[in-house]
Structure 1
Amino acid sequence: MNTKYIDLINQTFDFPQDEFKVDKGQLHFHDIDLMQLTKQYGAPLKFTYLPQISNNIMRAKKWFADAIEKHDYKGKYNYCYCTKSSHFKHILNEALKNEIHIETSSAFDIDIVERLKEEGKITNDTFVISNGFKRAQYVTNIARLINSGHKNAIPIIDNYEEIDLLSQEIDGKFNVGIRIASEEEPKFEFYTSRLGIGYKNIVPFYKSQIANNKKVELKMLHFFINTGIRDNAYYWNELLKCLKVYTSLKKICPTLDSLNIGGGFPIKSSLAFDFDYEYMVDEIINQIKLTCEEEGVDVPNIFTEFGSFTVGESGGAIYEVLYQKQQNDREKWNMINSSFITTLPDTWAINKRFILLAVNRWQDSYERVLLGGLTCDSDDYYNSEQHMNAIYMPKYNKDKPLYIGFFNTGAYQETIGGFGGLQHCLIPSPKHILIDRDADGNLTTELFAEQQKSEDLLNILGYGIEKKDTRTKTASLSENVT
């Protein structure tokens, strides 16, 4: 009878896979010996495998290049990275090796762009697409970037006031895009996205605020839906509605030459993941070309904004099972040495599932378990994997440590979790390891951040020496003023 953990995985999924294999009962991820990594740095730990960022960028570029060639499409393709998925310098440095562009969403993003320009990582030829609801500081920073000579900076208009706000601070002529407020899926609590301008209002908006405005030139129409790019009736219907707006605008606005189809490429969240990226890209290019030909307008240059797809599959987290609690005759809780709420916040905030596998003991028999975090919060648990009704792990044995890994966690978890800041129940953030390859293809590791210490949290909370010194100086200053 096949009762080993490795038998369960082999019977349930097509395994091994490109990034996963098992050697001597231990899991390897992109040929990284995860147990060796764990022995070197300890658990809990998070890691980023930098080469996967470039791998995914180049995959997407090839899909679009192939589709453009196949359909004799006359427009160009531009890959943009959404910085909000992960703002870390090591992420941007890796992504920018691949001749990509940047999408920003807030004021401080522009500061990052300017720092990257100072370091020669991007130039004035790099497109900087600025989304989001813009108010004072964001407008000021965008204007500063454009006034410095970055003519490929394109703020995407999100509401009716932004043209005036930008015009007040930008010297001379500047380019803009308009975001479409797409309609949401019927299951949503609201009908239309809060972002952008409604389908029916875009042409009137262009006529009233841009057409006769000598300072502003419309270059881009921006389309994005919350569910991302999916092969379903909802996505294709929204894309066709977007294309109708584009062709209508193009007929009265000759400067419009680009269509931003947003982001939302899904990433692998299960070993049973199956998504035909090539087909989707091919059909998107085909639909755009057919619609433009029917309407007698030139096809647009295509922009995409891939955040999770760029960085998500580069990340992982490894925990140790500390103890098993059997709370009744059916439920066994494996307690990890960290917290899901603090380290993988999407698991409880939006019920997101990541690939979950044992790191070691693949030759041992398995059991059904629930996973619990260290906080005293009832939501700090992980109880199912997307394509299974339960979690199965090698049987708990207090004399044989068990390590588990969550994979493709590289997007959003650090920023949502508040990297370097306070954590729920003061559970410390785990250490973070950067994994790369040298010129010869050999793996290299670097400790990016140590696990948080008590003094790190105490300083934030006001209990530390640094805070006391600041208060003393403030009191002294007040006395002098008095």
Structure 2
Amino acid sequence: MRTKYIDLIEQTFDFPQDEFHLREDRLMFHGIDLMRLIEEYGTPLKFNYLPQITHNIQRAKGWFREAMNNLGYSGNYYYSYCTKSSHFSFVLDEVLKNDVHIETSSAFDIDIVKNILNAGKLKEGSYVICNGFKPPKYIQNIADLIEDKRLNIIPVVDNTAEIHDLIAATGENELKIGIRIASEEEPKFEFYTSRLGIRYREIVPFYKAFIQDNPRVQIKMLHFFINTGINDTSYYWNELTKCLRIYSDLKKVCPTLDSLNIGGGFPIKKSLAFEFDYAYMVREILMQVKRVCSDNDIPEPNIYTEFGSFTVGESGGAIFNVLHQKQQNDREKWNMIDSSFMTNLPDTWAINQRFIMLAINRWNDDYERVLLGGLTCDSDDYYNSEQHSNAIYLPKFDKNKPLYIGYFNTGAYQETIGGFGGLKHCLIPEPKHVLIQRDEHGKIVTELFSEEQTAEDFMRILGYR
């Protein structure tokens, strides 16, 4: 009878996979020996494997390039990085190696744009797409970038009042804007229409009333995004069809319109059973755009995307040590980790997100069904199932044999939502954070980005120092 942990994984999934394989009984991730990483830095530990960022950007560029060439698509493609997924400098440094553009969400985002522009990391002439609701400070920072004239700034109007604020803030400068469509939410969603953007039926009247006769303002872009992202579902195709209908109607009265922004939303790998045909989705989207343009005798628009999680998500990981096992009743065994899910992988608690979770070592040991608990005293600080099953299986706990577990593809949102460097629930510290690169010879190189938080850090934040 096959009862080893490796047997469970091999019977459940196609394993090994591109990024995962074993060396003896230890898990390797993109060729990184994770046990050596643990030996050098200890746990709890977070890391980013930066080459994966470039890999995913180039994959997406390749899918759009191939589809456009095969379809004879006449518009251009612009890959933009959605900075809210991860604002860290090490992420932007890697992203900007790939000739991409930037999408912002808030006033402070503009300070990052200014920094990377002045440092020569963001090329002059690059596009900065300014999304989100725009309070006065955000409006003013956008106006400052437009005044600077080194970048192509496209503020995407979220509501009809924003256009008046932008016109007032930009003086005599030419103002090129986008309009965000308020898409209809999925039937199971709590709300009927997205709170973001302008309703379909208001867009053309909005243009005619406030923009058509203003020689200083041009609509360049229509922005389309749905909360569930880009998926091969009837809901997605229905919303895209409505978007293209509005694009066509607006283009017929607004000759300056030349770009369609389909937002972000490419899914990332959250399970070893993950399957998604990215190239098919890109081809189908472009085919629909091309068909509508042909039917309405209008030029094919430039296509913009704003991939955030897809860009950075698969670069991240977290490693924890199982400290202790508690047998709470006949069925429930709790493995306690040396960190907190609520604070250091907040999506597991807030939106019941599941990441790839695997043992790092002891793959040749027998396995058991367990629950995983964090260190806080909150009853919600737990992780109880994987996407492929309603349970977690790990090598059997043995107090004499340390067990390490890894969560993978956690690189988007977890640090910002968890409040990187700030207070944590029950004062459970932020783990060490390590950056992993490859040198010019392909050798793995690691660098400590931040130390684990200390009691002194918390005392200072709380005003005791």
Same fold (TM over 0.5): yes
Contact 1:4–1:363 (Cα < 8 Å) also in 2 = yes
Contact 2:128–2:151 (Cα < 8 Å) also in 1 = no
Matched, 1:446 2:464: no
Deviates more, 1:141-150 or 1:44-53: 141-150
Q: Secondary structure at the match of 1:175?
A: strand
Matches of 2:150 and 2:370, distance apart in 1: 55
Matched, 1:150 2:127: no
Contact 1:263–1:305 (Cα < 8 Å) also in 2 = yes
Matches of 2:72 and 2:216, distance apart in 1: 35
Compute the displacement of 1:61 (Å).
Answer: 0.3
Tell me the percent identity: 68
Matched, 1:63 2:63: yes
Partner of 2:256: 255
Matches of 1:439 and 1:18, distance apart in 2: 21
Partner of 1:469: none
Compute the displacement of 1:234 (Å).
Answer: 0.1
Partner of 2:293: 292
Matches of 2:453 and 2:112, distance apart in 1: 25
Deviation track 1:271-306 (CA, whole Å, cap 9, x = no partner) reads 000111010001001110001101110010000000
Matches of 2:424 and 2:216, distance apart in 1: 47
Equivalent residue letter for 1:90: F
Partner of 2:375: 374
Partner of 1:193: 194
Deviation track 1:230-280 (CA, whole Å, cap 9, x = no partner) reads 000000000000000001111111110000000100000000001110100
Matched, 1:94 2:94: yes
Contact 2:20–2:30 (Cα < 8 Å) also in 1 = yes
Deviation track 1:89-131 (CA, whole Å, cap 9, x = no partner) reads 0000000000000000000000000000110011331100000
Partner of 1:349: 350
Compute the displacement of 1:151 (Å).
Answer: 4.8
Structure 1's unaligned 5+ residue stretches are 465-482
Q: Secondary structure at the match of 1:333?
A: strand
Compute the displacement of 1:167 (Å).
Answer: 1.2
Matches of 2:194 and 2:287, distance apart in 1: 26
Deviation track 1:59-116 (CA, whole Å, cap 9, x = no partner) reads 0000000000010000000000000000000000000000000000000000000000
Matches of 2:197 and 2:14, distance apart in 1: 42
What pairs up with 1:61-460 in 2 under 5 angstroms?
61-171=61-171, 172-460=173-461
Q: Secondary structure at the match of 1:197?
A: coil
Equivalent residue letter for 1:40: E
Matches of 1:53 and 1:197, distance apart in 2: 33
Contact 1:151–1:174 (Cα < 8 Å) also in 2 = no
Equivalent residue letter for 2:321: E
Closer/same/farther in 2, CA of residues 460 and 102 from structure 1, 3 Å limit: same
Contact 1:360–1:402 (Cα < 8 Å) also in 2 = yes
Matches of 2:255 and 2:61, distance apart in 1: 27
Matches of 1:156 and 1:123, distance apart in 2: 21
Matches of 1:122 and 1:381, distance apart in 2: 41
Partner of 1:472: none
Matches of 1:126 and 1:267, distance apart in 2: 26
Compute the displacement of 1:213 (Å).
Answer: 1.0
Q: Which runs of 4+ in 1 moved over 4 A?
A: none
Matches of 1:117 and 1:78, distance apart in 2: 18
Q: Secondary structure at the match of 2:311?
A: helix
Compute the displacement of 1:174 (Å).
Answer: 1.2
Contact 2:126–2:151 (Cα < 8 Å) also in 1 = no
Equivalent residue letter for 2:97: K
Contact 2:340–2:374 (Cα < 8 Å) also in 1 = yes
Q: Secondary structure at the match of 1:67?
A: helix
Partner of 1:477: none
Q: Secondary structure at the match of 1:9?
A: helix
Matches of 1:5 and 1:410, distance apart in 2: 26
Matches of 1:339 and 1:177, distance apart in 2: 41
Q: Secondary structure at the match of 1:397?
A: coil
Contact 1:125–1:152 (Cα < 8 Å) also in 2 = yes
Q: Secondary structure at the match of 1:161?
A: helix
The RMSD of aligned alpha carbons is 0.6
Compute the displacement of 1:164 (Å).
Answer: 1.1
Matched, 1:42 2:49: no
Matches of 2:354 and 2:233, distance apart in 1: 21
Q: Secondary structure at the match of 2:181?
A: strand
Deviates more, 1:163-172 or 1:282-291: 163-172
Contact 2:221–2:259 (Cα < 8 Å) also in 1 = yes
Deviation track 1:141-195 (CA, whole Å, cap 9, x = no partner) reads 0000000113511000001111111111213211000000000000011100000
Matches of 1:363 and 1:127, distance apart in 2: 51
Equivalent residue letter for 1:36: R
Matches of 2:201 and 2:169, distance apart in 1: 29
Matches of 2:347 and 2:29, distance apart in 1: 22
Matches of 1:133 and 1:48, distance apart in 2: 30
Structure 2's unaligned 5+ residue stretches are none
Equivalent residue letter for 2:116: L
